[in-house]
Amino acid sequence: MKKEALKAFLDEKVIQYNQLQFIDSDPIQIPHSFETKEDIEISGFLAATIAWGNRKSILKNAHQLMELMDNSPHDFVLNHSDADLDGLDGFVHRTFNDMDLRYFIKSLRNIYTHHKGLEQVFFKNITNKSTQGAISAFKNIFFELEHPARTTKHISDPLKGSAAKRLNMWLRWNCRQDTTGVDLGIWKTIDPATLSCPLDVHSGNVARKLGLLKRKQNDGKALAELDAALRKLDPKDPVKYDFALFGLGVFEGF
C-alpha cells in the first residue's frame, strides 16, 4: 500500500475508533472518572501499571484499587498513614501485589513532595524530541527511595530495550489533545509530537501487516521504527494511530 493510501486508510480507522465508546472497554475509563489533574494522573498511572492480561480483570482490579484509596487517589498518596497502607494488603493483579503497591504509593508521595509532581518529572527530562529518555529518568526517580527489588520490574526502561507499552499509553492519555474526548490532555507542557505509540502484540502485528514495522520483537528498537513510520504520516499527532492499529487488531482481527 502506498503512503497516501495507507494514511487515508489509517486516518479513517482513527476516526472510527477514537470515539467515546472506546472508553467503555478500556482502562482509560479509570482516570475519566476523576476531575482534578492530580487524581486523573495518579489513577491513570496506577491503572496503566496493571494494564496487562484480561481486560475485564484489569478494569475490575483497577476499580478495586481506586476504592481502596477511598476514590481520592491524590489525597491518599499525600496523606496516607501506615494503617491506610495496611488496608491495601491482599491486593493483587497478576504479578503486581500489595508489596509493590505500598512502594508505589510511597514513591508517588515522594514525587509530589520533592519533585513538583508527575508532569514536572517528565517535562524536565524530555530530550531529542522524544519521551523515551524521560521515561528512563522517571524510573530512576521513582526508585530513588529504598524499595523491594521485585518492584522495579513494574516500571519499564526504554533505554534498556523495553517498548514501555503501558507508560507510553499513559503518556498518550495525559498529553494528547483529543478533539473527541477519549484522551484526557491534562498535561500541556509536553508536545504530543514527542509521544510514542503503545506497542503491544496487537498494534505490532497490524503494523507489520501494513508494512510500518519490520522488526519481529516488540521491543525498544521496534518502537523506534514504528515511531519513525507514524511520524511520517502525522508529525504533529503520531500516536493517534494507536487507535487504528489497536482497533484493527482487537476488534477486526486484522
pLDDT digits (tens, 9 = 90+) for 97-114: 999 999 999 999 999 999
pLDDT at 241: 98
Cell of 233: 504520516
* Lowest mean per-residue pLDDT among 7-16, 123-132, 153-162: 123-132
Q: Which helix (H) or strand (E) holds 136?
A: helix 132-142
Write the burial class of residue 98 (CB in 10 Å: 0-12 exposed, 13-18 middle, 19+ buried): middle
Amino acid sitting at position 25: S
Q: Please give the mean pLDDT across all residues of the chain.
A: 96
pLDDT digits (tens, 9 = 90+) for 174-216: 999 999 999 999 999 999 999 999 999 999 999 999 999 999 9
Residue spans of the domains in the chain: they are 3-250
pLDDT digits (tens, 9 = 90+) for 110-138: 999 999 999 999 999 987 789 999 999 99
pLDDT at 126: 87
